[in-house]
Structure 1
Amino acid sequence: MRIDKFLKVSRMIKRRTVAKNVADAQRIFINGLLAKPSKEVKIGDLIELHLGLKVITIKVVSLTQLKDQDMYELISEEKRSL
């Protein structure tokens, strides 16, 4: 699954176009490497999102949305200072 679609389906980001814009702005890293919007995501990947002053790290647990189950596991959420 593409990273922009994963972020939308998992409800980390509300819209796919917003997820695409975040990736184009070089604010998404998968396993420590810069990710483009079309980068494929696999189970077990670590995704680091730089959203505003927050840095969110998640681990991909599932690629399909199931009722009452998250598609990711929150590893850390930090606030950056300017």
Structure 2
Amino acid sequence: MRLDKFLKVSRLIKRRTLAKEVADQGRITVNGSAAKASTTITPGDTLAIQFGQKVVTVRVNDTRETVKKDEAETLYTVVKEEKI
């Protein structure tokens, strides 16, 4: 699954276009390397997303094309949140 689609489906970022912009700005890393919006995400990958002054690191548990709002948090596990 594409990175931008995963971020939207998991509701880490609300819109896919916004997820693409964030990735293009270099604020997302996958397994320690910079990622583009088209980067393929698989279960077990680690994503680090910079939201302003906060970096959220999550581990991908599952990739599904659609998911209900209540089940969105099951797609990932937050590893750590830190302020920079």
TM-score (norm 1): 0.92
> What are the ranges of 5 or more consecutive residues in structure 2 without an aligned counterpart?
none
Runs of 4+ in 1 over 4 A off after TM superposition: none
In the other structure, the counterpart of 2:80 is: 76
> What are the ranges of 5 or more consecutive residues in structure 1 without an aligned counterpart?
none
| Partner secondary structure for residue 74 of structure 2 | coil
Kindly state the Cα deviation for residue 23 of structure 1 after the two structures are TM-superposed: 0.3
Identity of aligned residues (%): 47
**Residues 22-64 of structure 1, C-alpha deviations (whole Å, 9 max, x = no match):** 0000000000010000000000000000110010000000102
RMSD: 1.2
Structure 1 letter corresponding to 2:75: M
Instruction: Report the count of equivalent residues.
Output: 80
Structure with larger RCO (C-alpha < 8 A, sep 6+): 2
| Partners of 1:52 and 1:15 in 2: CA distance | 17
Higher helix share: 2
Kindly state the Cα deviation for residue 79 of structure 1 after the two structures are TM-superposed: 1.1
